[in-house]
Homo-oligomer: A and B are copies of this chain.
Amino acid sequence: MSDIYEVIHRRRDVRGQFTGEPIPDDVLARVLAAAHAAPSVGLSQPWDFILIRSAATRAAFHEHVMHERDVFAATLPDSSSFEKIKIEGVRESTLSIVVTYDPDRGSPAVLGRHAIADAGLYSVCLAIQNLWLAATAESLGVGWVSFYRESFVQEMLGIPPSVRPVAWLCLGPVTHLESTPDLERHGWRRRTPWQEAVHSERWPSFTPGRED
């Protein structure tokens, strides 16, 4: 039994603490079933989960990510604070999970999507957060890698052009979860108090996000 608030606040985006140990089948089943229990627009359940254990596939993705890391670093006026930040644990984690969005699931008439085309994409993200929290409850780490081009992942995994890769997740046992996010520990950015994000009745008139 894992208290939901404890899990929500303990959850981290993991890069450096993966051990590579196996994930028991029953644990993985619970985590995937939790993801699949997410809400979805028009009950379309437009997600798929591709589990990747192949070392060759993960090495190829890792190489691509390292290239995209360099692309981002080159855009920074000063990349010194970025250089010490580890951005992925693709090879050290036990499993990669690619989560995709299929807009044709539930078509032609997806209830609730006619006015907001991205609503299906939003559903996929809700499933990802369920997965993330369930994994945290199971004492697994999750890291969402986003230094990649969608077309690279589509080609590598044979994903059709109409299906969009939404996330590359690294999953597996970890030595521990850090109590402070990596980006905060490394001085990249600090978290704000939740009260700064909450407003009453309308968008605030002054500096957005700074008063109610």
Which A residues form the contact surface with B (CB < 8 A)? 1-5, 7-9, 11, 13, 30, 32-39, 41-45, 47-54, 57, 68, 71-72, 75-76, 82, 85, 87, 100, 102, 105-106, 109, 111-116, 118-119, 121-122, 125-126, 128-130, 132-134, 137, 144, 146-150, 157-160, 163, 166-167, 181, 183-184, 188-192, 194, 197-203, 205, 208-209
A39–B49 Cα distance when bound, in Å, is 20
A30–B3 Cα distance when bound, in Å, is 13
- On whether the beta carbons of A114 and B71 are closer than 8 Å, the reply is yes
On chain B, the residues within 8 Å of A183 by CB distance are: 42-43, 111
Are the C-beta atoms of A34 and B5 separated by less than 8 Å?
Answer: yes
Q: Give the residue name and chain of the B residue nearest to A79 (CB).
A: B109
Known: A43-B183, A166-B122. A115 touches B148 (CB 8 A): yes
Complex: chain B residue closest to A137, CB-CB:
B4
A82 → chain B closest CB, angstroms:
7
Oligomeric state, in number of copies? 2
**Which residues of B have CB within 8 Å of A205?**
158
Contact, CB under 8 Å: A9 / B32: no
CB neighbours of A166 from chain B (8 A): 122
Tell me how far the C-beta of A187 lies from the nearest C-beta in chain B, rounded to whole angstroms. 11
- Are A36 and B122 touching (Cβ within 8 A)? no
A129 to chain B, nearest CB (A): 4
- For residue A206, give the distance in angstroms from its CB to the closest CB of chain B: 12
**Contact in complex: A50, B201 (CB < 8 Å):** yes
A122 adjacent to B167 (CB under 8 Å): yes
Q: How far is the CA of A150 from the CA of B114 in the complex (A)?
A: 12
